[in-house]
Amino acid sequence: MDAIILQILNGLDKGSAYALIALGLTLIFGTLGVVNFAHGALFMIGAFCAVTLNRLLSLSHEVVDETRTDFLGNPLRVDVPYVYEWFGPDVGATIIDWSVPLAILFAIPIMVLIGLAMERGLIKHFYKRPHADQILVTFGLAIVLQEIIKAFYGANPIPTPAPEAFVGSFDFGALIGFDPQTIMYPYWRLVYFSFAILIIGAVFAFLRYTTFGMVVRAGMADRETVGLLGINIDRRFTIMFAIAACVAGLAGVMYTPILSPNYNMGMNFLVLSFVVVVVGGMGSLPGAVAAGFLLGILESFASRAEVIDIIPGINQVIIYLVAIIVLLTRPRGLLGRKGVMEE
């Protein structure tokens, strides 16, 4: 029993990331009808927003420390961050320590700007083009974004730890009456899961309770009619794209303590996120979220040693296997609508 709870918990945070990326993907697809292969890159850029802020906050000037030596035996030049001088070492250290949560504020404007620029500058011209062209051009963009990040940050993962306060894990098992130390769950993953729920909730509430959201939903159902009503649906869709970019970016920001970001992380998530979107049903927001968590949890279960012993390699293929089964039994995914993306 405790093992089951443990694997469900472990599936949640990966599922959260899948769900957030898939949510943005399906939002873009549903509103704009565009298959965005650059969405994984947006997730990656979000993660690098956190890295960048961390670097910005740690901007330093060199002070020569005569007492110590560097690897060549010269006097060591120590980097002293400017924030230490402005706010004192203690406050300064805390600010740098909290750079990942702070990066949320930093990432929002950046992701919105990138989203707007992408939509206006590129995606807009591809509404009427075949999906294959959309895939190709966004894939090209993803490569370009990736390479730019690689040129600045290198290819190795960059550690971006969570604030000191969230380091370590809490004993979830003891909380619900199991033996101590059986179900441990890191604090940051709890934060990530809560954050994901919050974002998902906010997106749904936004779509459900604002006029803006209602128009967008109507547009997703029938773009032409809404256009005929004299509503400038394009403007709203542009904003939706920015929101989707923002969701992916924030998912990336908060994921950095779990997975040290490298330039390639977006591609790894992209393919799986597409599978998630399709399993959930193209254009279905609840489908994307449900499928994200479902696949995250299934993947977690498939990686139990006991399961691998029975079916070797199942942990490698579980997501794809589930995708095939779902698509063959439910032609349009779990919650998909008829006629979407079948031409």
Partner 1 sequence: MLGLNRKDSGLFLLVICLTALAPFLLNPFPEGSELAQFNAGYPDLMQRFMIFGIFAIGFNILFGLTGYLSFGHAAFLGVGSYAGVWMMKLLTVNVVPAIIMSVIVAGLFSLVVGFISLRRSGIYFSILTLAFAQMSFALAYSVLTPITNGETGLQLSLNDPRILGISQTVDGSIPAANFFGIEMRDSLELAMGGWLFTFNAGYYLAAIVMLISFYIAIRIFRSPFGMMLRAVKSNQQRMSYTGLNTRPYALTAFVISGMYAGLAGGLMVAMDPLAGAERMYWTASGEVVLMTILGGAGTLLGPIIGASAIKYFENIFSKINDTVLHGWFSFMPDGLQDFVVAIIHPFIGKGWHLTLGLMFMLVVIFLPGGLMEGINRLRIWFGKRINGRQQAPDHAPATSS
Partner 2 sequence: MSKFHISRRGLLKGSAVAGIGLAAPTIFTSKAWASFTNEPKGDSVTLGFNVPQSGVYADEGADQLRALRLAVEHLNGEGDSGMMSTFSSKALKGNGILGKKVEFVTGDTQTKTDAARASARSMIEKDGAVMITGGSSSGPAVAVQALCQEAGVIFMAGLTHANDTTGKDRRRNGFRHFFNSYMSGAALAPVLKNAYGADRNAYYLTADYNWGYTTEQAISEATEGVGWTTVNKVLTPLGAGDFSSYIAPVLQSGADVLVLVHYGGDMVNSLTNAVQFGLRDAQANGKNFEIVVPLYSRLMAKGAGANVKGIFGSTNWHWSLPDEGSKAFTRSFGTKYGVPPSQAAHTVYCQALLYADAVERSGSFNPCGVVEALEDFEFDGLGNGKTLYRAEDHQCFKDVLVVKGKENPDNEFDLLEIVENTPVDQVTYPHDHPQFAGGALGACNAGS
Pair 29, 36: CB distance under 8 Å? yes
Among 89, 109, 140, 159, binds partner 2 (CB under 8 A): 159
**According to the binding rule CB under 8 A, does residue 232 interact with partner 2?**
no
Quickly tell me which residue has 């649906």 as its tokens: 233
Which helix (H) or strand (E) is 247 found in, with range? helix 233-255
Smallest gap from residue 216 Cβ to partner 1 (A): 22
Q: Which two tokens stand for residue 147?
A: 């390479």
The interface partner of residue 6, options being partner 1, partner 2, none and the CB cut-off 5 to 8 Å by kind, is partner 2
What are residue 303's phi and psi, to 5 degrees? -90, 5
Question: Which CB atom, from 72 or from 328, has the smaller least distance to partner 1?
Answer: 328
Q: Does 305 bind partner 2 (CB under 8 A)?
A: yes
265 near partner 2 (CB under 8 A)? yes
181 contributes a contact to partner 2 by CB under 8 A: yes
Residue 94 neighbours by CB under 8 Å, 6+ apart: none
- Strand, coil or helix: what is 65? strand
CA distance 5 to 314: 20
268 binds partner 2 (CB under 8 A): yes
- Interaction of residue 341 with partner 2, rule CB under 8 A: no
DSSP 68: E
Q: Where are the beta strands (DSSP E) in the chain?
A: 60-69, 75-81, 169-171, 184-186
Q: Is 309 in the site for partner 1 (CB under 8 A)?
A: no
Question: Within positions 55 to 74, which residues make up the interface with partner 2, using CB under 8 A?
Answer: 68-72
Q: Which does residue 58 bind out of partner 2, partner 1, none, counting CB within 5 to 8 angstroms by kind?
A: none
CA atoms within 13 A on the CB side of 43: 31
AA letter at 40: G
* Residues 6+ away with beta carbon under 8 Å from 11: 293, 296, 297, 298, 299, 300, 301
Q: Give which of partner 1, partner 2, none residue 137 binds (C-beta under 5 to 8 Å, depending on kind).
A: partner 1
264 is a contact residue toward partner 2 (CB under 8 A): yes
Residues in 124-153 that interact with partner 1 by CB under 8 A: 125, 129, 131-133, 135-137, 139-144, 146-148, 151
Determine if 289 is a binding residue for partner 2 (CB under 8 A).
Answer: no
Residue written as token pair 């490569």: 143
Q: Which residues contact 324 (CB under 8 A, 6 or more apart)?
A: none
Q: Fill in the per-residue mask, 14 to 33: x = in contact with partner 2 (CB under 8 A), - = not in contact.
A: x-------------------
298 binds partner 1 (CB under 8 A): no
Residues that bind partner 1 (CB under 8 A): 35, 122, 125, 129, 131-133, 135-137, 139-144, 146-148, 151, 267, 271, 274-275, 278, 282, 312-313, 316-317, 320-321, 323-324, 327-328, 331-333, 341-343
